[in-house]
């Protein structure tokens, strides 16, 4: 009877197995440790990852007496209504920076979205302040396009409530 010896070669995959095992053990230990963290500790951890400038003491105040948003004529003729939410960057001088303006929530109509962006460039603000010093801020700014006499959109009760106050 002939015996054959089996010789194993040390392949790259076999050499990687111990480090793979170590990585798996570390991953398991980390997941067990994470499961032991209480709610308060996890909230503290999340706050440590938050970035950005501190919130101002005083929010920016709009100076425009009339809103600069123009209803697109084609949508007005069709009695279409919509909401657009913009993200505006207001600098330390109270100016809206055009290059930073973004549509965060579209109306679903490109004409409304474009009209909101164009109009936002004509907005003027007293800048936000922290300890009396002007501060640049980013805000969310809703723009409502409403046709006179048309039925209200969902959420319009908020608009009516604000009009009475």
pLDDT at 159: 56
> Which tens digits make up the pLDDT trace of 4-39?
333 333 444 444 444 445 444 444 444 444 444 445
Which residue matches tokens 């209504």?
81
Pairwise pLDDT comparison (91 vs 164), residue with the higher score: 91
∠ Cα 141 100 120 (to 5°): 45
| Contact by Cβ (8 Å): 107, 145 | yes
DSSP class of residue 141 equals E
pTM of the model: 0.63
pLDDT at 55: 82
61-148, CATH topology level: TolA/TonB C-terminal domain (3.30.2420)
> Which tens digits make up the pLDDT trace of 91-107?
999 999 999 999 999 99
CA distance 14 to 20: 10
């Amino acid at each position: 009877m002939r015996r054959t010896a089996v010789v194993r070669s040390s392949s790259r995959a076999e050499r990687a197995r111990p480090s793979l095992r170590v990585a798996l053990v570390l991953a398991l230990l980390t997941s067990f440790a994470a499961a032991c963290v209480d709610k308060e500790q996890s909230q503290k951890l999340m706050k440590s990852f938050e970035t950005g400038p501190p919130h101002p003491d005083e929010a920016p105040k709009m100076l425009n007496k009339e809103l600069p948003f123009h209803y697109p004529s084609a949508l007005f003729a069709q009695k279409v209504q919509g909401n657009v939410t913009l993200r505006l960057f207001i600098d330390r001088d109270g100016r809206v920076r055009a290059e930073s303006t973004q549509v965060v929530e579209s109306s679903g109509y490109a004409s409304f979205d474009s009209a909101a962006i164009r109009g936002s460039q004509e907005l003027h603000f007293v800048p936000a302040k922290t300890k009396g010093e002007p501060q640049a801020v980013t805000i969310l700014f809703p723009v409502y396009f409403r046709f006179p006499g048309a039925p209200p959109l969902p959420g319009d009760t908020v608009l009516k409530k604000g009009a009475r106050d």
